[in-house]
Amino acid sequence: MSSPAKSLSPSASVPSPAKPTTQKSEKAKSVNKIGLAFWMDRVLEECERASVDFAPDPVHDLRVALRRCRSMADGIMAIDPDPTWKQMKKSGKALFSRLGDLRDTQVMEEWMHRLDSPGDPVTSKLLQFLAIREAQFKQESAQALEDFDRKQWRRWSKTLPRRASRLRLGSDIFKHLALERWIEAHDLHRRALRNRSQVAFHSLRIGIKRFRYIVENFLPQQHGAWSDDLKELQDLLGEVHDLDVVWSTALQVNAFPDAAAHSRWHARIIQERTSRIDKYKDKVTGKDSLWQVWRAELPQGKQIQAAALHRLCLWASVLDPDFKHSDRVTRLALQLYDGLPIKRSPTEANRRNSNHGDSTHPDSSHPVQSHIDQRAILQVAALLHDVGRSKREKKSHKATYQLINRLKPPAGWSAESLHMAAVVSRYHQGALPHAGQASLRGLTSEQRQTVLRLAGILRLADAFDSNREGRIQRLHVAPQNGFLAVAAQGYSPRDRVAERIAGARHLLELVYKRPVMVRPLVVKTAKGPRR
């Protein structure tokens, strides 16, 4: 909830509440308050301050520090799958949530003084009720602080900032993350303006807050330009929520002695609430809408898919114990794909002809999930095909399928396309795909044919680097006399790799209904042909 500061006569309009300040928080303004290490240390400092008497300012500052740490973890988790991020986020959420009721009660008390009229019995009754609740919530907060494992948090404050420092602030990956938060928040914005409900505006405030934290923590250039506007919108919507909570609490405790008091308070709440919503609308509608200003600085068109691929690549490189092998397999798989006589499905051909891959919503502000073609699905499946080895070596292809399926599709990818990439990775080794297997359920006949074709390509590409030495660097594919000829630079028919290739080509032969012949690639040099 937002934090009102000064008392006010009942005839005046309630201005935007100022953030509560203390001598310590004023001093902290001169500190460069960025980075995970700063905020994790700040949590421990604020725990000490809050534990004295759980006054409003320390409770607020502790929740802010916890929220910053959790928001940073939330952003980095999309790239770094280390389970420690989730553990830290869960630990911070437990304390943050248990302090929430106390903080809401303290904010309501401040609002009551702002909305108070001299001798108003409604205010007196509500303040009595809130005082009882505050005492109860302080006891619960003291227990929550006792349960919070500060020693573990201090250990995380040393290790996690080192992991975070490997990521470059302001990169396209973080702009891509900000785009996802922008999409979510903008959807909530349109929903709130459409139905104007309390729940919708509260959800919108949370959406803007999440967008703001990604920008604030990971995009320093955009933060410098947008921070004031983002904070103002968040504060306006926070005050709307505060007023809604004040009204619902007054109704809950039956604080109104008569109909006149009920009408007077209701009119005042509606007046203050409407003025803040109008201010919000002035900022976000029309030609100079802030939503359009923010969107213009985030990835557009093909940049969305490129950034999504980079994100998935980083995620895989953290899990895959031999990502260089996966990178080589990806190059070989794409060489096979580009050389094989693959006919695109009618659906995909229509998509490519109409250039829907870079399309946007008719209002030019809301990006549509891009239609991912088969080549992109194969590329992601190849890059991610060995992430399951982080879980186990035996049947790692099944673990890979599960890990990819748990991923939230990045902006530019649909859940359907990412699932197909998971299925292709699932069949890069092991049993051949066949009807009745759980991973193939729910796919259309066209999608199954695509999966079989791409899995056959990935199997063969993986076999070409089965010794993980990178000896085979280039492939050339050409149909010849009823079979598919694959010429491989560095291939020898007399080693163990050739044996693996002989078995791996079987699925591709089933798909194309013709033999696949593998032979050395003859490279012409100045001295003549050379194998």
pLDDT at 224: 93
Q: Same structural domain for residues 243 and 155?
A: no
What pLDDT score was predicted for residue 392?
84
Structure tokens at 108: 């309501």
Q: Which residue has the higher pLDDT, 506 or 372?
A: 506
| Residue 438 and residue 351 share a domain | yes
Whether residue 373 is found in the same domain as residue 500: yes
276-292 pLDDT tens trace: 999 999 999 888 899 99
What pLDDT shows up at residue 167? 87
* Number of CB atoms found within 10 A of residue 339's CB: 17
Q: Which of 85-89, 238-242, 479-483 has the lowest mean pLDDT?
A: 479-483
Residues in the chain: 531
How buried is 443 (Cβ within 10 angstroms: 0-12 exposed, 13-18 middle, 19+ buried)? middle
How far is the C-alpha of 381 from the C-alpha of 461, rounded, in Å?
12
User: Do residues 311 and 428 share a domain?
Assistant: yes
Confidence grade of residue 529 (pLDDT, cut at 50, 70, 90) = low
Structure tokens at 517: 């012949």
The span from the CA of 117 to the CA of 14, in Å, is: 13
Kindly provide the residue ranges of all beta strands, DSSP E only, lying in 316-395, ordered along the sequence: none
Shared domain check, 178 and 143:
no
| pLDDT tens digit sequence for 4-44 | 433 333 334 554 444 444 444 443 443 345 689 999 999 99
Return the structure tokens found at 71.
């928001």
As for how many domains the chain has, the answer is: 3
Q: What pLDDT score does 117 carry?
A: 74
Q: What's the pLDDT band for 83 if we cut at 50, 70, 90?
A: very high
Q: At residue 363, does pLDDT exceed 50?
A: no
Tell me the pLDDT tens digit for each residue of 242-252.
Answer: 999 999 999 99
**Average pLDDT of 93-99?**
95
Q: What is the CATH number of the domain that holds 313?
A: 1.10.3210.10
Q: What pLDDT does 482 receive? A: 87
Angle between helices 445-464 and 415-426 (to 10 degrees): 50
Query: What does the pLDDT read at residue 144?
Result: 95
Distance, CA of 165 to CA of 531 (rounded, Å): 46
Residues whose CB is less than 8 angstroms from the CB of residue 55 and which lie 6 or more positions away in sequence, other chains included: none
CA 227 to chain centre: 20
Note down the domain range covering 199.
169-251+258-298
Residue where one domain finishes, among candidates 167, 199, 220: 167
Give the residue-averaged pLDDT of 298-312.
Answer: 94
Provide the pLDDT for residue 6. 35
Q: What is the Cα–Cα distance from 477 to 467, expressed in whole angstroms?
A: 22
Tell me which residue has tokens 């459409």. 194
**Are residues 70 and 145 located together in one domain of the fold?**
yes
**Cα 419–Cα 383–Cα 211 angle in degrees, nearest 5:** 65
| 3 secondary structure, DSSP code | -
Rg of the chain in Å (alpha carbons): 29
| Residues 65 and 108 reside in one and the same domain | yes
DSSP assignments along 92-147, one per residue: HHHHHHHTHHHHHHHHHHHHHHHH--TT-HHHHHHHHHHHHHHHHHHHHHHHHHHH
- At 524 the pLDDT is 65
Same domain, 161 and 175: no
> What per-residue confidence (pLDDT) applies to 288?
86
Q: Which residues of 496-523 are buried (b: 16+ CB within 10 A; e: fewer)?
A: ebbebbeebbebbeebbeeebebeebee
Is residue 337's pLDDT more than 60?
A: yes
Checking if the pLDDT of 343 tops 80, the result is no
Give the number of C-alpha atoms closer than 13 A to the C-alpha of residue 417, restricted to the C-beta side.
Answer: 22
Q: What is the pLDDT of residue 394?
A: 86
Nearest-CA neighbor of 9 among 126, 123, 117? Answer: 117
Q: Which residues pair with 77 in a beta bridge?
A: none
Q: Which of 144, 167, 190 is the last residue of a domain?
A: 167
- Which has the closest alpha carbon to 371: 417, 402, 323, 330? 417
Predicted confidence (pLDDT) at residue 166 exceeds the cutoff of 80: yes
Confidence of residue 331 (pLDDT cuts 50, 70, 90): very high
| pLDDT on residue 348 | 53
Instruction: Identify the pLDDT of residue 25.
Output: 42
CA-nearest of 90, 30, 98 to 59 is 98
User: What per-residue confidence (pLDDT) applies to 311?
Assistant: 93
326, 345: one domain: yes
274 and 361 within one domain: no
- What is the reported pLDDT for 287? 83
Q: Are 102 and 158 in a shared domain?
A: yes
CB 298 within 8 A of CB 182: yes
| Closest to 273 (Cα-Cα) out of 240, 300, 247, 250 | 240
Q: Give yes or no for residue 365 having a pLDDT over 50.
A: no
Last residue of one domain, picked from the residues 117, 140, 167? 167
Same domain flag for 397 and 520: yes
pLDDT score, position 366: 44
Torsion of CA 115, 116, 120, 124, to 10 degrees: 100
239 pLDDT exceeds 50? yes
Give the residue, 401 or 368, on which the prediction is more confident. Answer: 401
Phi, psi of 475 (to 5 degrees): -125, 145
